[in-house]
Amino acid sequence: MALASQASTNLLQNSFLPSKPRNNHAVKYVKARQIVDSRGNPTVEVDLVTDQLYRSAVPSGASTGIYEALELRDGDKSVYGGKVFLSELCQILSYIWLDQADVDAIMLEIDGTPNKSKLGANAILGVSLSVCRAGAGAKGVPLYKHIQEISGTKELAAMLEIVWPMQEFMILPVGATSFAEAFRMGSEVFYHTLKGIIKAKYGQDACNVGDEGGFAPNVQDNREGLVLLIDAIEKAGYTGKAVDIFAQCMDKQCRLKIGMDVAASEFLTKDGKYDLDFKKQPNNGAHVHSAQSLCDLYKEFVKEFPILTFNFVGDDLLVTNPTRIAEAIQKRLAMLPGWGVMVSHRSGETEDNFIADLSVGLASGQIKTGAPCRSERLAKYNQLLRIEEELGNVRYAGEAFRSP
């Protein structure tokens, strides 16, 4: 567990220049506080004050890759299991300005580590988010518009694909004509219809939800979970005209498709195999696959079910790490046809809805932010509804979500 050092604190404090006034939006102070995320763990919230208050909260993930940026915690096991946030790292950031690139570059330079282990990814992100919000405020534009301008996104085109995870399974309302309609379709299928099916088949206890609001019934394998989704799509009335339910969902007229967040690194064994029954230890090895046989299983799923996307390239492999992304591009992993970008929540979330504006500002085409049943997840969806209303006549990506 990384610990803060007085040396890094002094370095950070001495490295910032006096605030540069921009449009009367000079930074008066930056302060961090400890709040609690949706899993009951401490996280950081950062206030940046100019003539207004700009507040951001940082989420935290449960499944983290080995290349992921490091969250800085104090390590004292007697308090919140050692997960208390070292807020003094943000409290001394009193001399910054609203240029996003400048602030981010300075923090990264001061940190100087490949995994943000000196300042902590949580401290860096919290400050960066609030600076971004303040930058939008200084220009008098919505946050998503500011993100669009600083990222160089040419088109604000798409309202976003919405995906609700049920373990590794997601619903994609590609046949909707607006985000509001997509949100309604997904909510009807996933949270209402599917809940009734699960209750009837597995009992009331199976309707309890996990960290991200998804149901977790006692399904025996992935195919059983996919069949549940198909059943819910049919009962909600979103299939085509074919007689067979599977043919209906495979048909282009079906307005709802399926996605899977594989997260294969979670069940990768030490000998390079993939154990799909990894949650049961020990087990008889009946569900252990080689890389090739796992790929063959994916192909079977695509043939049998209306699966549009597998989320298994980025996430744990790239973990938003520029070095890892550059390596992927060099190896042409990122050059494969149809490689899309998904903005994702984390398992430990807050009511901060920054990623909704981020998805629109980057025109990512996809956002994954959980089931529509917990306020920290709904905060993002509700913000997207507001943005769509504000934008007026805006195109919903639909099946063009990879390149909106």
Whether residue 382 has pLDDT greater than 90:
yes
Amino acid 335: pLDDT = 45
Is residue 103 domain-resident?
yes
State whether residue 162 is helix, strand or coil: strand
Identify whether 15 is part of a domain. yes
Q: Are residues 299 and 362 in the same domain?
A: yes
345 is written with which tokens? Answer: 């929540």
- Residue 217's pLDDT band, with cuts at 50, 70 and 90, is confident
What CA dihedral angle connects 128, 130, 134 and 140, to 10 degrees?
Answer: 100
Which residue has better confidence, 162 or 57?
57
- Residue at 378 is within a domain: yes
Most confident listed range (2-16, 230-244, 347-361): 347-361
Does residue 192 surpass a pLDDT of 60? yes
Residues 134 and 32 in one domain: yes
Q: Is the pLDDT of residue 146 over 80?
A: yes
User: Is residue 117 within 8 Å of 321, Cβ to Cβ?
Assistant: no
Lowest pLDDT segment from 187-191, 309-313, 377-381: 309-313
For residues 172 and 288, state if they share a domain: yes
Q: What is the mean pLDDT of residues 161-171?
A: 63
Look at residue 328 and tell me whether its pLDDT is greater than 80.
no
Residue 148 counted as domain residue: no
pTM above 0.85, yes or no: no
CA within 13 Å, CB half, 381: 24
- Checking if the pLDDT of 205 tops 50, the result is yes
179, pLDDT greater than 70: yes
Residues 241 and 202 in one domain: yes
Q: What does the pLDDT average to over 47-58?
A: 92
- Quote the tokens at residue 306: 């209306």
Residues 131 and 21 in one domain: yes
Cα 144 to Cα 83, 127, 153, 364, distances in angstroms: 32, 18, 11, 12
Q: What are the pLDDT digits (tens) for 88-129?
A: 554 445 455 668 888 888 888 888 888 888 888 888 889 899
In the predicted model, what is the mean pLDDT of residues 281-296? 89
Co-location of 371 and 321 in the same domain:
yes
Say whether both 208 and 355 belong to one domain: yes
- Domain match, 231 and 272 both: yes
Average of pLDDT values for 364-390? 90
Check pLDDT > 60 for residue 10: no
pLDDT at 262: 81
124, part of any domain: yes
Are 166 and 240 part of one and the same domain? yes
Angle between helices 143-151 and 354-362 (to 10 degrees): 40
Choosing from 108, 140, 172, the residue where a domain stops is: 140
Q: Which 8-state DSSP code applies to residue 106?
A: H
How many percent of the chain have pLDDT more than 70? 75
Mean pLDDT computed over 209-215: 83
Checking if the pLDDT of 353 tops 90, the result is yes
Tell whether 146 is covered by a domain.
no
Where do we find the tokens 């046809």?
337
What share of the chain has pLDDT > 90, as a percent?
A: 24
Tokens linked to 130: 């609030």
Q: Out of 95-99, 155-159, 194-198, 213-217, which region has the weakest mean confidence (pLDDT)?
A: 155-159
- The CATH number linked to 282 is 3.20.20.120
Residue 173 region, left (φ>0) first, then alpha (ψ -120 to 50), else beta? beta
The CATH number that applies at residue 42 is 3.30.390.10
* Last residue in a domain, options 105, 140, 175: 140
- Examine the domain organization and report whether 366 and 260 are in the same domain: yes
Selected residue with higher pLDDT from 263 and 176? 176
pLDDT of residue 198: 93
What is the secondary structure of 49-81 as a DSSP string?
Answer: ESSSEEEEE--B-SS--TTSPPPPB---TTTGG
Higher pLDDT, 402 or 391: 391
251 band by pLDDT with thresholds 50, 70 and 90 = low
Q: Look at residues 77, 105, 140 and tell me which one is the last residue of a structural domain.
A: 140
Using DSSP bridges, classify how beta strands 341-344 and 365-368 pair: parallel, antiparallel or unpaired. parallel
Report the pLDDT value the prediction gives residue 76, as an integer from 0 to 100.
78
Is 145 inside any structural domain?
Answer: no
With respect to residue 28, please indicate whether it lies within any of the assigned structural domains: yes
71 and 190, same domain (yes or no): no
* Average pLDDT score over the chain: 79
Q: Are residues 258 and 325 in the same domain?
A: yes
Q: Name the H helices within 236-352.
A: 245-250, 291-304, 322-330
Q: Which residue has the higher pLDDT, 166 or 268?
A: 268
Predicted pLDDT at 222: 83
pLDDT average, residue stretch 138-163: 76
pLDDT of 385: 93
Kindly report which listed range (72-76, 165-169, 188-192, 196-200) carries the lowest average pLDDT score: 165-169
Residue 159 has pLDDT above 70, yes or no: no
- For residue 261, say whether it is annotated as part of any ligand binding site: yes
Q: Which H or E run contains 270?
A: none
Number of structural domains (the chain) is: 2
Please tell me which residue, 30 or 288, carries the higher pLDDT value.
288
Residue 390, domain extent = 158-400
